[in-house]
Structure 1
Amino acid sequence: MNSPHFRRFGHVILAIGLLGLLIWQISSQEDLLKTWSEFKSMDFTKNIFYLILALLLMPINWGIEIIKWKNLVSTIDKITGRQSTYAVLTGISMGIVTPARIGEYIGRLSVLTPEKRPPGVVLMFINSLAQNIINIFFGIFGILYFLDDYYQFDDVKLNQYFVAVCLLSILLISLYFNIRKVVAVTQKLPLPLFLQRWFKKLDLIQNVSNKSLVETGIYSLVRYFVYFLQYCMILKFFNLDLGISQMMAGIATIFMVQSGIPLPPLSAILARGEIALMVWGMYNLSVSGILAATFTLWVINLIIPALFGIAIILFTDYNSNSYEND
C-alpha cells in the first residue's frame, strides 16, 4: 500500500481535490465576482508598475518564510531548502481549503519523520507566535493613531489602551522565549495517558536556542515589511490615495486585526474585505477599490502560491519515511 505507484495515485487525487476545492471556494463568493467585474472595468495601465512590483515581492515574501521554516526546523532535524519549499507551499494549498488551516500542519509536517512531527507542531506554534508578536507590536501604534486622529480618544483612555496592549505584548514575548520551560513543565503534569505519550515526544524542543528564536523573529520582521510594501503597492495600483502616516497606520491595524481573528476558508476573503472596509472606510475611499485591493492581495499572496503548492504535490513525491536528510 506504500508503493511508489500508490503514492503517486494519492498525490494526483489530492492535487485534483485541492484544485477543485480552491475553484469552488472562489466561485462560491458572489461578492468576489462583483469585485472582479469592478476590477476589469477600471483602467490601470498607468499604474501597472505597482501591480508588477507587488507580484515580484510575492516570491520574496514566501521565500523568507521558506528560509525561516528551514532555519527553525534545523533545531530538531536537518531538511533541505527543497524540502522546506515543499512543506511551506503544500501547507498553503491545504491550509487555504481546510477549517482552522489544519491542512497547513499536514503540509509543514509532511517532510518530517513521524517521531519528529509532535515537536514540529510546537515549532509551528513558535513560528506563528513570532509573526503575531510583530503584527501586534506595529498594530499597537496603528490603532493608537486611529484612536487619537479619528476617534479622538482622551489621553486617559489612550494610556489605558497602550498599557493593556503593552502588557499583552510582554506576555507573548515572555511565552515566546520561555517555550522550552512551558513544554518541560507541561510534560510533568498529570495529564491523560495519551497526552503524556504525546508530550514525551517533545524533548527535541529543548534544542531550540534563543539564537534560533531571535533569528525567527528577525525573519518575521523582514517578512512583515515585505508584505507591508506589497499592500502599499496594491493601494497605489487602485488609486486609493492616502497619506503615508494613514497608510502605515491602516496597514498595521489590518495586519493586527487579521492575526487575531481565525478566518474560516469560505469566509476568509470576505472577512478580510470587511476589515479593510472598516479601516479604509474612515477616509471615504471607493468601496469597490478597497474590495478589489483586498481581493488582489489575497490572490497574489495566497491563491498563486497555493497553485504552486498543488503543482508540487502533483509532480513531487516526498515520503518522510523513505529519504534521508543530508
Structure 2
Amino acid sequence: MQNTNETNPKTSILSEKLFSLVKTLLFVLIVWMLYKTFKDKQQNIGDLIVECQKALVWENLWKGILLILLIFFNWGFEAKKWQQLALKIEDISFQEAFKGVLMGLSLGFITPANLGDYAGRMWKFQHQKRAESIGAILLGNGIQFYISLLFGTLSFVYFLVTQHQLFLGFNAVIVIVLAISLFLGFFAYQKRHLFYLLILKIPFLKRFAHTIKILEHFTNQEVKKVFFWGLMRYLTISLQFVLVLLIFQIKLNLLDLWTISCLIFLVKTIVPAINFLGDLGIREFSAIYFFSFYQVNTAAVIAATFVLWLINILFPVLVGSILVLKTRVSI
C-alpha cells in the first residue's frame, strides 16, 4: 500500500524550482528599485559629489570610521530587539535574528507600507508559527514608534523655544496632538491585554485576533527589554546623523544637530511609509525644512542625508537581497 504522506519527488523539485524563481525575481526587483532611486535622484548627484569632496579631509577620518562601525550597531540592536520578541515564539540565535532583520529590510524596500519586513523576519519560523510572529513584530514596531515620538516631541518643544516660535495656532495643535499620542501610547502599553479582547468583539477584525494574542504573554520586564534595545538603536541612529552632519561641516552646536535629527526621524515615522525609496525623499524634505531656520549650506544638508541613506539603507538592503537569494524557507 502506497504511503500517502510520502512527498512526491517531482512535486518537491517543482516547488524548489518555483521558490528559486521567486527569490531571483525578488533580487532583480530590489536591484531595479535601487537603480530607479538613483536615476530619480540624479539632480542631486553633482552637488553630492562636490560636498563629498569637501568632506574628504583628514580631520573627518575618525568620524567616518565611527560612522561605518555604527552601521553594525544600528542593525545589531534591531536584531537584539527582534531576538527578544521572537523568544515568545521560538528561540532563535542572534545570527538568525540579524539575518531576518536584513532580509526584512530588503523585502520591505520593494513593498508598500514596509510589508516585506514581516516576510523577511518570519523566514526562520515554521508555517504554523508565522501568524504569531506578526503580533511580535507589531509590538516591536510600536515600541520603536513610541521612542521616536517621545524624543521627537521633546525636540519639537525645544525647537519652538530656541527658534522663538510661539505655542500658538498650528504649532500648539501639533504639541497637543504629540502629547496626547504619548499618553495614549503609554496607556496602550499598560492595557495591551485589552486589545485582544477588543478585537474579539469587532466582527471584521475577529479573524485577525490570533495574530495579536501573543501580546497577552509579554510581561512588563520583557517589554522593558525590548524598549531598551529599541532605545539603543534610536540613540545609535541619532549619533550617526550628528556625525554625518559634522562631516559635511554643518556648523551648529551638538544639541541643535541632535534636535534636528530627532525631528527628521519624527517626520519619517509619522508620515505614511507607502514609498519605495526607503524614506529617502521624506528625510531630505524634512531636513531641508528644519535646517531652513538656520544659516547652513542646503546642498551639504542634502548630501549628508543622502550619505546616511547610502550607508544605513542601501548597504543593508544589498546584503539582505543576497541573503534572500540564498535562503531556503520551509513552506
Which residue of 2 is the match for residue 229 of structure 1? 239
Deviations 1:190-215 (A, max 9, x none): 514xx534324544332222222111
Q: Partner amino acid for 2:137? A: M
1:251 matched to 2:261? The reply is yes
1:97 matched to 2:107? The reply is no
CA contact (8 A) 1:119 1:202 kept: yes
CA contact (8 A) 1:99 1:265 kept: yes
Q: Which moved more, 1:96-105 or 1:65-74?
A: 96-105
Deviations 1:154-180 (A, max 9, x none): 599988765553332011122134323
Q: State the distance in 1 between where 2:257 and 2:239 align.
A: 10
Which residue of 1 is the match for residue 214 of structure 2? 204
Which residue of 1 is the match for residue 37 of structure 2? 25
CA contact (8 A) 1:76 1:207 kept: no
Which residue of 2 is the match for residue 304 of structure 1? 315
Mapping of residues 54-93 of structure 1, within 5 Å: 54-93=67-106
Higher normalized contact order (CA 8 Å, seq sep 6+, divided by chain length): 1
What's the TM-score once normalised by structure 2's chain length?
0.87
Would you say how many aligned residue pairs link Structure 1 and Structure 2? 317
CA contact (8 A) 2:131 2:210 kept: no
Q: State the distance in 2 between where 1:241 and 1:40 align.
A: 16
Q: Partner amino acid for 1:48? A: L
Q: Using a 3 Å threshold, how does the CA distance of structure 1 residues 53 and 2 change in structure 2: closer, same or farther?
A: farther
Q: Partner amino acid for 2:257? A: M
Mapping of residues 38-49 of structure 1, within 5 Å: 38-46=50-58, 47-49=60-62
Mapping of residues 130-149 of structure 1, within 5 Å: 130-149=143-162
Which residue of 2 is the match for residue 113 of structure 1? 126
1:15 matched to 2:27? The reply is yes
Q: State the distance in 1 between where 2:278 and 2:92 align.
A: 34
CA contact (8 A) 1:115 1:201 kept: no
Q: Which moved more, 1:249-258 or 1:204-213?
A: 204-213
Deviation at 1:28, TM superposition (A): 2.6
Deviations 1:243-269 (A, max 9, x none): 122122212211212111124124831
Classify the secondary structure of the residue corresponding to 1:240.
coil
1:191 to 178, 195, 203: 203
Deviation at 1:289, TM superposition (A): 0.3
Q: Partner amino acid for 1:45? A: V
Which residue of 2 is the match for residue 324 of structure 1? none
What's the TM-score once normalised by structure 1's chain length?
0.88
1:313 matched to 2:324? The reply is yes
Q: State the distance in 2 between where 1:156 and 1:190 align.
A: 37
Q: State the distance in 2 between where 1:161 and 1:13 align.
A: 43
1:279 matched to 2:311? The reply is no
CA contact (8 A) 2:52 2:303 kept: no
Identity of aligned residues (%): 23
Which residue of 2 is the match for residue 270 of structure 1? 281
CA contact (8 A) 2:113 2:272 kept: yes
- Runs of 5+ consecutive residues of structure 2 not aligned to the other structure: 1-10
CA contact (8 A) 2:134 2:211 kept: no
Q: Using a 3 Å threshold, how does the CA distance of structure 1 residues 198 and 248 change in structure 2: closer, same or farther?
A: closer
- Runs of 5+ consecutive residues of structure 1 not aligned to the other structure: 322-326
Q: Partner amino acid for 2:258? A: M
Which residue of 1 is the match for residue 184 of structure 2? 171
The CA RMSD over aligned residues, in Å, is 2.5
CA contact (8 A) 1:98 1:265 kept: yes
